[in-house]
Structure 1
Amino acid sequence: MNPLGIHALVWAGDLSPASAHKVIENSKAAGFDLVELSLHDPSTLDVALTRRLLEEQQLQVGCSRGLAFNADVSSEDPACVARGVALLEQAVSLTQALGGTYFGGVPYSALGKYNHPLTPGGRRNVVGSLRRLAAFAAERGVTIGIEVVNRYESNVINTARQALQLIDDVGANNMVVHLDTYHMNIEEIDFVKPVLECGDRLGYVHIGESHRGYLGSGTIDFTSFFHALAQIDYRGPITFESFSSAVVAQGLSNDLAVWRNLWQDGMDLATHAHGFIKAQAKGAGLGIADRGY
C-alpha cells in the first residue's frame, strides 16, 4: 500500500506541543497514514511528546527542511557550508529520534531565489556535503530525499533528470528522488516522462495543485501523473502539500512566497485532498488503503 501523507503546515505553523497535538490528531482524523513535519524551526519541538503522539495515533512520520542563505551548502564559503551541514545533520538526528526513516526537502541549497547560476565550486560543495550527509543518515537508518524544486527556489536542480545526475555524483545508495507536482508543473515538459525516468529511484511524492490550493481546482494533470506512478509500480508515500496565509510559519512562509489566503478550513481542505488522491490512485491501479474519507 502507498501511505497517504499530509504536510503539517495544513494544520499549524510550528511544532510546539500544542501544535503537535493538532497536527497529529487532525492528520489521523482526516484519514492519513503519514504526517510530514517541517524542521525549519525545531526550537519548540518536544521530541518525546511528538513521538508518543505519533505512536498513539499509529501514524508514520517523514521530515523535511530547507536552508537559509547563511547556511547554504552550495556556497563557496566554507563556514557557510559547514553551518548548512550541521543543520542537516541535526535534522536527520531529529528524524531518527521521532521514529522516522525519511528526511527530504532541499538539502542541496538555500531555499530562495538566486541572482546568479550555480558555480563549479558551489556544485563541488553540494556533492561533498550530500556525501557526508548520506553517510551520516545511513548510520541512523534514514533515507535522504532530493526534492526537485523550481527555479525560484533553487539554482542547483530544477528537474528530475538533474536530481538523478546529482544523486549519481554523490554516489550514495540511501538517496532517492522526491517529485512534487507543483514544481513539475513549472519545470518539466509533462507529468509522465520524469516519473518513468526516475523509476525505482523515486522515493517520495508531493501532491500539490498549480496554485497550492484545493486539488482539482488548478491546472495539474493528475491523471497522467498517477498513471505514471502505477507504471513504475511506485510504492512510496504520496503526501499532500498545500500552503495558505491562513497558517503562517515564520521564515518558511516568506521563503515559499505564501502571500495569499487559498483556504481557511484545514480539515475541509485535508479531507477533500484525501478523497481526491485516493480516487486518483485507485483509478490508476495504485494500492491505497480503503479507510478514512
Structure 2
Amino acid sequence: MKYAHKPLPAFSGMSRRRLLGSGLAALDALASKNPLHATEAVPQKPEVRLRFSSWLIGLQGDLDQQLDFVEKAGFEAVELRGGVANNRARWARALNGRPLEVSGLDWGHFTDMVSDDAAKRQKSIDSLKYAIEAAHELKAQVLVCVPPRHTAGVKLPDPIATRKILMETLTPLAGMAAEAGTSIGIEAVRRSSVNCLHTLVEVAGFIRESKCEGLSLVADFCIMMEEETNQTGAVLSGGKYIKQVHLSSRKRTLPGEEKEDEAQFLEGFRGLKMIGYNGFCSFECGKANYQDGVLKSMAFLRDVWARA
C-alpha cells in the first residue's frame, strides 16, 4: 500500500517540546493507517450497541423451554450447533414466530478439506455446501468454521500449503455463501490447536487476498487473550471482516469470572466500538454453570461496554 507524502513542516522557531509533540502525533496518525493494525480508517461510531447471542448448550428443559429462557434473558439471537444442517426443518419450526435471529451455525473444521484423500476433501466440500443451504433457510448470518486441526487424525500440509489449498477451495464456496445471504466465518484459533490462521490479522489478510464477499472473520475472546498482545489492536486488525464475536474468558468460563476479564474485555470492546461493530456477541463458555451465571455475566459485559 502506498501513502501520499506531505511536505515536511518548517521547523524554524519551533521549540523542542512542540517538535516532539508534532512527531508523536504523526506517529499516532501513521499507526492508525498501518494495515497491520487496521483494515481501514476506524472512527468510533456512537450508534453501535452490544447485541447478545446465546448457544443452547447448558440450558435446562426441552428446546422450547431453552428458547423461552433465551428470550426472557434479553438475548436477540441464538448460535446453533450440533448437526443443525441435518435438522434445519426442526429448527425452523422451533424459531417460527419468535423474535430471535440466528447469529450463526457451527459447521466444524476445515481439516478434511486439505486432506490428501480426495474422497475426504469432496465430502467436506459437500458438507459445507449443504450447511450454506441450511444457513440460507434459517437466515443465519455466519457459518462458523475452524482452520485445520492438528488433532483430527489427518496428516496436514505445511501452513503455507494449507493456506493455499484453503484459498483455492473456499473461493467458489464463498461465492455461494454470499448469494445465499450468509458468510463462511473463519475463526482465528490458537496455534497449539490448528496449523494456520491463528490471529485476527492473519484471517483478515486471508480474506482480503481472496477478494471474496462471502468470507468473514469470527473473533473469539478466549483465543484473543492467548494469541494477541492487545485486544483493541487485534480487533482493529480484523476490522470490517469481523461478523461474529465469541464471548468467553481465557479459561472458557463466563466473562466476569476471571481476574483479568475486565481489562481484556475493556480493550476488546473499545476496538469493537471503534470499528462500528453491530454484529452479535455470542456466548461460548461455561457449559456447567451457564444458565445459573449468564445473567450476571451479561450485566458485567454491559457495564464494561458502557465504559469502553
- TM class by smaller structure: 0.7 to 0.9
- Tell me the secondary structure at the aligned position of residue 65 of structure 1: strand
- Tell me the secondary structure at the aligned position of residue 106 of structure 2: strand
Return the offset for 1:205: 0.8
2:97 to 43, 56, 68: 56
- Tell me the secondary structure at the aligned position of residue 185 of structure 1: helix
2:109 to 67, 70, 74: 67
The structure with the larger Rg is 2
Across the aligned residues of Structure 1 and Structure 2, the Cα RMSD in angstroms comes to 2.5
Q: Could you tell me which residue of structure 2 aligns to residue 203 of structure 1?
A: 243
Residue 193 of structure 2 corresponds to residue 182 of structure 1: no
- Work out whether residues 5 and 33 of structure 1, in 8 Å CA contact, stay in contact via their aligned partners in 2: yes
Distance 2:224 2:80 in 1: 22
Q: Could you tell me which residue of structure 1 aligns to residue 52 of structure 2?
A: 4
The count of corresponding residues between Structure 1 and Structure 2 is 255
Residue 148 of structure 2 corresponds to residue 109 of structure 1: yes
Return the offset for 1:93: 1.2
- Unpaired runs of 5+ in structure 2? 1-48
1:79-90 alignment runs, 5 A limit: 79-90=119-130
2:305 to 273, 281, 288: 281
1:206-221 alignment runs, 5 A limit: 206-218=246-258, 219-220=260-261, 221=264
Q: Could you tell me which residue of structure 2 aligns to residue 290 of structure 1?
A: none
- Work out whether residues 53 and 280 of structure 2, in 8 Å CA contact, stay in contact via their aligned partners in 1: yes
Q: 1:97 to 1:208 in 2, by over 3 A?
A: same
TM-score normalised by length of structure 1: 0.78
TM-score normalised by length of structure 2: 0.74
1:31 to 74, 83, 108: 74
Q: 1:19 to 1:147 in 2, by over 3 A?
A: farther
Q: Could you tell me which residue of structure 2 aligns to residue 133 of structure 1?
A: 173
Distance 1:277 1:163 in 2: 26
- Work out whether residues 148 and 178 of structure 1, in 8 Å CA contact, stay in contact via their aligned partners in 2: yes
Q: 1:68 to 1:163 in 2, by over 3 A?
A: closer
- Tell me the secondary structure at the aligned position of residue 152 of structure 1: coil
- Tell me the secondary structure at the aligned position of residue 94 of structure 2: helix
Paired residue type of 2:280 = P
- Tell me the secondary structure at the aligned position of residue 114 of structure 2: coil
- Tell me the secondary structure at the aligned position of residue 148 of structure 2: strand
Write the deviation string for residues 74-125 of structure 1: whole angstroms up to 9, x where unpaired.
223332221111111111111112232322232x424847886635443322
